[in-house]
Structure 1
Amino acid sequence: MDPVRALRQIAFHLERAAEPTYRVRAFRRAASTIEPLTERELRERVERGTLTDLPGIGKATATVITEALAGQQPRYLTSLLDTAPTLTVGEELRQALRGDCHTHSDWSDGGSPVLEMAEAARELGHEWIALTDHSPRLRVANGLSADRLRAQLELVRQLNEQLAPFRILTGIEVDILDDGSLDQDPALLAELDLVVGSVHSKLRMPAAEMTERLCAAVANPHLDVLGHCTGRLVTGKGRPESQFDPERVFTACRDHNVAVEINSRPERLDPPRRLLRLAVDLGCEFAIDSDAHAPGQLDWLGFGCARAQECGVDADRVINTRTAAQLVRRRTKARAPSHARTRT
C-alpha cells in the first residue's frame, strides 16, 4: 500500500469521525513530509530506524509507513474503518447525489487547499463541488473580500482545467446581514455559479425581525440556497434555534426558487425534522450539503440524506442530484424576471 495514501486515508477518516484537529494534522503533515521521498529512501530509513528523524514523523505515523511499505493495510487505518458508523437509511438518496453545494477551503476557515478538497470529493464519486468560502463580514472565519474572491475565481478556473471533467463551481457562503441584504458586491455575486446565504450574527433576533430578515434574503435574485436556517447547534453546550415564521420563510424559498439546505454537519443537522417536513409539505427544493471544512467531512452527506429520507424528501427535489450544467441553468432561470419564470 502506498504510505502517502495510507496516511491521507487515516486523516480523512479521522476528519469524518470529528476527531481533534491536531491528530488529523499529524497524519497530513507526515504525508507531506514523505511525499517527495522515493520508496527506496523510505525503505532505507525503515531498515536504519531513522523514519522518526524526519520532521513531523512520530511513532504512530512511522508505524503506518512501515506497515504500508510491507504491503499491509496499516492497523491504525483498519481500526478506523472497523469503527466507522454505517448508515443504512438514506443510502439510495446518497447514491443519487452528484455534488455538494456547501464546502470550505483554507481560503477562509477550512483546513485544506481547494485542490485537496476537490480531489477528495472526486474520490468520493462526486462530479462537482461548489466552493463556498465565507464572505468578508465573518472576520473570525477569514471571510473573503471582493479582491480575494476574484483571486479565488482565477484559481478555480485553473484547477478546473486540471481536474476536468470534474468541476469546481464558483461560489460563496454569504452572510445574511441584519436587514436581509447579502454581504458581498452584487455584481460579483452575479458572476458566481452558486450562492449560499446564512445567518451568523444576532441569532436571537426577535422572531418577527428574523422572519423579515430571512424573507428579504430569499427574495434577493442572487441567492440560491438558504443555509442552516435555524443556526442551532445540538452538540456540546449547544445553541438554540433562531425563531422565525417557518411557513413564511419556506414559502418564500419555494416562490423564489431558493433551495432549503439540509445541513449534514453532526453538530447542526439543520433544519430540525419538524421544519424539514413543513418545507417538504410546502413544495420546497433542497440542497443536501456537508458544510465541509476538511476533506473527511465531505463524507458527512450521509447524515443529511438519512434525515431527508425520513422526512419524505424525494431525489428529484434535491438540487445536488443534478449535473453542474443543470445547476447553473437552474440559477440562470431563477434570476429571470418573475413574469418570465415558471415555478418548478
Structure 2
Amino acid sequence: MTDPRDPVADLRRIAFLLERAHESTYRVRAFRGAAAALRRRTPDELIRLVESGELRQMRGVGEVTARCVAESLAGEVPVYLRRLEATEGTPLDEAAAGLRAALRGDCHTHTDASDGGSPLREMVETARELGHEYLVITDHSPRLTVANGLSAERLRAQIEQITELNAELDGFRVLTGIEVDILPDGALDQEEELLAELDLVVASVHSQLRMPRAEMTERMLRAIANPHVDVLGHCTGRMVTGRRTRPESQFDADAVFAACAEHGVAVEVNSRPERLDPPKRLLRLAVEAGCEFAVDTDAHAPGQLDWLDHGVSRAIACGVPAGRVVNSWPVERLLAQRR
C-alpha cells in the first residue's frame, strides 16, 4: 500500500506550473479553485469523497481535478502533473544560474487586491516555497482603474494585513509597497505621506505611452527625483508578444538612466515574457550609466513568481553586475538604502 500524497499540494503545483508556462487563465483557476475547495479537508474525508463519487459533485471540483486528487490519494504523482514536470524549461547557463541563486526576493508583485489573480497569502506561500527571503507587494495605484488600483484607504488596509501576516511568519518578510503610476506631469498617483510609509515604491508609466520624447523624458525625470521612488518599473512600456503588442515609449535614455544613478533609483529588469523591458540596448546603457537594478517578475499570479529566469538571463547577457542587483541584497540592506 503506497502512502497517499498531498492532493492539495499537487493541485497547487499544477496551477503553479501552468502559470509559469503562461497557460490559459481558466485552466489555472480550475486547479487553484479545486485546491481552495479541498484545503481544509482531511485525507480521510477526501478518500471518502472519492470512493463515494461525491468529490466530482463538489463546487470548484471538476472531472480533471477530481482525477488528480484520486491519483494523489493513491500515492501516485498525478498524470497531469507528471506531464507538466516533464516539459519544464532548460537549465540556465552557469553565470545566469549564479545570479539567480543570489536573488533573495522579488520587488514587484501583484495580488487580487488590484489586478492579480490570487490573494496575498497564496503569493507569500509560493514565494517561500521558491526559496525567497522576502516579497514586496506592489499593487497598483488608484488612477489605474482598469487594474482596480488601491485607494489610500485600501492601501492602508493592506499595510495592516501585511503587518498581521508578518507576525505569523518565521524567517520570511513581506514588504509593503506599491506600483505607483507616473502621471503625465511626472507626479505620483498616491499621497506623499502614505508613500513615505511604504517599504518600497516602484514607479511606472501606464498612460499616454506615446507622449512626445521630450515631454516623456521630463515626466520620467520628475518622478525619478521624487525621494519616495525606489525602482523605475518597465521603463519603455513595450509589449513584444501576445494580442496587444505595443512599441516602446520614446525618451532620452541617457538622461533618464543618469538620473536613476544619481538618485539611487534601481532600473527594473522586468521578467514578464510579453514585456522583457528594458530592451537589451537600453539595459546596456543603464549598466554603463552606473545604475542599480531590480530583477523582478511583475507577477500577477503565484506561478509567475518563478519567471525570474527570464530577467536573469537578460541581465547577464547585458553585463549587469550581481552586486548592483538590489534584490540580491539582504532585506535589511534593501530597506536601509531607501532614500
Q: How many angstroms apart in 1 are the aligned matches of 2:34 and 2:300?
A: 20
1:50 CA drift (Å): 2.9
Aligned to 2:249, which of 210, 223, 242? 242
Residue 130 (structure 2) aligns with:
124
> 3-state SS of the aligned residue for 2:337?
helix
List aligned pairs for 1:165-184, cutoff 5 A.
165-184=171-190
Aligned to 1:42, which of 28, 41, 46? 46
Residue 203 (structure 1) aligns with:
209
> 3-state SS of the aligned residue for 1:62?
helix
List aligned pairs for 1:263-282, cutoff 5 A.
263-282=270-289
Aligned to 1:24, which of 6, 28, 39? 28
> 3-state SS of the aligned residue for 1:190?
helix
CA contact (8 A) 2:240 2:274 kept: yes
CA contact (8 A) 2:202 2:230 kept: yes
Q: TM-score normalised to the size of structure 1?
A: 0.95
Is 1:291 aligned with 2:298? yes
Q: How many angstroms apart in 1 are the aligned matches of 2:45 and 2:328?
A: 45
1:164 CA drift (Å): 2.7
Task: Say if 1:152 and 1:141 are closer, same or farther in 2 by CA, change over 3 A.
Answer: same
Q: How many angstroms apart in 1 are the aligned matches of 2:253 and 2:324?
A: 19
Aligned to 1:314, which of 311, 314, 321? 321
CA contact (8 A) 1:262 1:269 kept: yes
Aligned to 1:224, which of 222, 230, 236? 230
Residue 170 (structure 2) aligns with:
164
Is 1:109 aligned with 2:130? no
CA contact (8 A) 1:169 1:324 kept: no
CA contact (8 A) 1:228 1:261 kept: yes
Aligned to 1:94, which of 100, 107, 110? 100
- Paired AA for residue 37 in structure 1: R
> 3-state SS of the aligned residue for 1:210?
helix
1:43 CA drift (Å): 1.4
Q: How many angstroms apart in 1 are the aligned matches of 2:63 and 2:148?
A: 34
1:86 CA drift (Å): 2.0
Residue 68 (structure 1) aligns with:
72
Q: How many angstroms apart in 1 are the aligned matches of 2:132 and 2:40?
A: 28
CA contact (8 A) 2:92 2:309 kept: no
1:48 CA drift (Å): 2.7
- Paired AA for residue 92 in structure 1: G
- Paired AA for residue 289 in structure 1: D
Q: List runs of 5+ in structure 2 lacking aligned partners.
A: none
Q: TM-score normalised to the size of structure 2?
A: 0.96
1:59 CA drift (Å): 1.4
- Paired AA for residue 286 in structure 1: F
1:281 CA drift (Å): 0.9
> 3-state SS of the aligned residue for 2:274?
coil
Deviates more, 1:315-324 or 1:45-54: 45-54
Deviations 1:110-137 (A, max 9, x none): 1111111011001000000110000011
Deviations 1:38-78 (A, max 9, x none): 21222122223332111122111111001100111111011
1:299 CA drift (Å): 0.2
Identity %: 64
* RMSD over aligned Cα atoms: 0.9
Q: How many angstroms apart in 2 are the aligned matches of 1:46 and 1:154?
A: 40
1:325 CA drift (Å): 1.1
Q: How many angstroms apart in 2 are the aligned matches of 1:130 and 1:42?
A: 35
Q: How many angstroms apart in 2 are the aligned matches of 1:158 and 1:44?
A: 36
